[in-house]
Amino acid sequence: MVLPVPRLALRQFGAYSQRPRAPPAKPQPIYSSPTRPLAYHPPLPSAAIELYFDIEAEPDRNLDFLLGVLVVNHRTGTERFHAFLAEDPSEEPLIWQQFLALLLRYPGAPVFHFAAYEVDTVKRLAALYKTAHAVLPESLDRFVDIHAWVTQSVAMPVENYSLKTLAKWLGFAWRDADASGDQTVCWYDRWLRQGDRQLLNAIVRYNEDDCRATYRLKQWLGDFLASASEPPLAVNS
């Protein structure tokens, strides 16, 4: 059985959650205490329109070359992926402005991501490109770290809590089975040297799959926490 707990600061759990641990036989909600009801765990945010955000970056260049966003519209039942891609490193400020324009197009829509890198990067790019201060706080308030939610609410039957491990456990498959974040860096370097557009296509495909994996994980976690918070059936003595 799976047990939910109150949310705690990611800084307390981030390093620990990446370590291998003895997995339970099946998902277990984490209780805050034996006397707390499961309903104590807050519901996972949801909205009619939700954004799922993932970044591809090259640390050696201090460059974020792809800002990918999956827009899920539950009203219309549609999903649209936006790839803001810097085909040249000089285009980073352009894709940053394109990303901000998308956020402003959907005011109030939660922005789901996996782990802290996306928020840290948004803050860095906002400072680097002198984004209007009024825009950033409202936008950051909408960010929801699915990694933090998982590590603080559910003990999973997996060896680690990486996005690939969790999403694969849920049955999600990346179209390029051997692709990784490190691989996208190699592809991007080769693109800059060779100009082979197939390399850019592979990067975008991998980034979109990361966004969709985050969406799949969020769907599962929301359903799981909702069902775990239901009161138990009364038992007649």
User: Among the listed ranges 9-18, 139-148, 193-202, which one has the minimum average pLDDT value?
Assistant: 9-18
User: Does residue 73 lie within any of the structural domains?
Assistant: yes
- Assess whether pLDDT exceeds 70 at residue 17: no
User: Does residue 200 lie within any of the structural domains?
Assistant: yes
Identify the CATH number of the domain in which residue 194 sits.
3.30.420.10
User: Does residue 4 lie within any of the structural domains?
Assistant: no
As for how many domains the chain has, the answer is 1
User: Does residue 237 lie within any of the structural domains?
Assistant: no
Spatial distance between the Cα atoms of 32 and 218, rounded to a whole number of angstroms: 21
User: Does residue 234 lie within any of the structural domains?
Assistant: no
* Pairing between β-strand 78-85 and β-strand 143-145 as defined by DSSP bridges: unpaired
Helix (H, G, I), strand (E, B) or coil at 218: helix
Which tokens sit at 192?
């800059």
**Local confidence band at 132 (pLDDT 50, 70, 90 cut-offs):** confident
User: Does residue 2 lie within any of the structural domains?
Assistant: no
Predicted model pTM: 0.84
User: Does residue 70 lie within any of the structural domains?
Assistant: yes
Q: Which domain holds residue 26?
A: 10-228
User: Does residue 118 lie within any of the structural domains?
Assistant: yes
* Torsions phi, psi for 144 (to 5 deg): -130, 115
